[in-house]
Amino acid sequence: MIQRKYNLKYCCDDICIFPSRTLLNYDDESFKDSFGLTAVSTYQLKTNQNTNVENEEQKKKGRIYFYRLAQNEENDDNGFEVNHILSYEKNVNIHSLCFAAFDKKPEKICVTFSNGDVFLLSDQQLVKSWRAHDYHVWSCEFTEDENTIITGSDDCSLIMWDMRTSDICQKNTRSHSQGVTDVKFEKLGQLVYTACYDNMIRVFDIRNLQKPVRTLDVESSIWRIKFLYKNNTMKKLLVAACDGGAKVFKKINDDFIFEKGICNNKELTYGIDVIDVFDREKKKKKKIYLSCSFYNKEVQMWV
């Protein structure tokens, strides 16, 4: 159920909240100073004012906006109510975030580009770059080995790379009928999850990326996927399902069963995340989901 909607100035293409329940090593204490901090990335295609120039690539502008999930106290005819709102954060100290929760070496970053390039950076310095794909590289993911990454591209391929040599370890060009939009490594199960424009989430054993061990039909194109952990076990799968809205699937044994979600009037849902907050009325924690959609420039808060 949607509790609130927020309209932004630009198209929204991803959302992250701290501390997200999608973190494997979830720790409230590590994120105490930045609890509820929410980042929304946006995208703007700037209008070309020079109509005399043919075939000129349109300029793009991206910004990241920070908000804070805060408690809002309201009095109405039904009595006193405490709910949650997103409030704009003007001054954000990025150094207050505990990036160590994301990776053993947070200074090591992999960046992908629309021209097919992949960059490896360490301590903000470029270490390596190479042409990994012929088209947009939508996603990259480190495996448990810091020297190995996996990339997914609009060329329908999934490739594992040795970062020390830029050599291909494994390559799959047959499983995906459309672009690979997201790649996630689930290290507890040593599995690789891929999202695709062809409506399918595919799960691969990391030792063999040639054939998926299972698939999930989401019934709409997929832009992003995230894992929801509990007690160091992956319990749910969060899906930003483009025109299918935001969806949550519960993992039962090796199957994923649809649990809940929100429709978004066929708008393109590009981001999803979840956080635990304390419900003072019920005296226990509850989950608040956040999702964002592109063309209508909207963030949704739901339970």
- Candidate from 2-11, 38-47, 146-155, 260-269 with smallest mean pLDDT: 38-47
pLDDT (tens digit, 9 = 90+) per residue, 225-256? 999 998 889 999 999 999 999 999 999 998 99
d(CA 197, CA 153): 11
Looking at per-residue pLDDT, the higher value among 101 and 149 belongs to 149
Place of tokens 């999803």: 272
Q: 300: which 2 tokens?
A: 């949704």
d(CA 89, CA 92): 7
**Which domains are seen in the chain, by residue range?**
2-46+59-302 (2.130.10.10)
- Mean pLDDT, all residues of the chain: 86
Residue 219 reports pLDDT greater than 90: yes
Question: Which residue stretches of the chain are H helix?
Answer: none
Q: What percent of the chain has pLDDT over 70?
A: 84
Sheet holding 269-279, edge to edge: 2-7, 298-302, 284-293, 269-279
Sheet holding 125-131, edge to edge: 108-112, 117-122, 125-131
Q: Which amino acid is at 253?
A: N
Q: 182: which 2 tokens?
A: 């997201």
Inter-residue contact 97 to 89 (CB < 8 Å): no
pTM for this model (two decimals): 0.88
- pLDDT for the residue numbered 51: 55
d(CA 107, CA 146): 11
- pLDDT for the residue numbered 117: 92
d(CA 150, CA 44): 28
pLDDT (tens digit, 9 = 90+) per residue, 137-195? 999 999 988 889 999 999 999 999 998 888 999 999 999 999 999 999 998 999 999 99
pLDDT (tens digit, 9 = 90+) per residue, 273-290? 999 988 877 888 899 999
CA angle at 213 for the pair 210 and 217, rounded to the nearest 5°: 105
Q: Identify each DSSP E strand in 206-268 by its residue range.
A: 214-217, 224-230, 233-240, 246-252, 255-262
Q: 7: which 2 tokens?
A: 């309209």
- Measured CA distances, 269 to 11, 58, 60, 303 (Å): 11, 23, 20, 16
User: Could you tell me which of 153, 213, 197, 99 has the C-alpha nearest to residue 161?
Assistant: 153
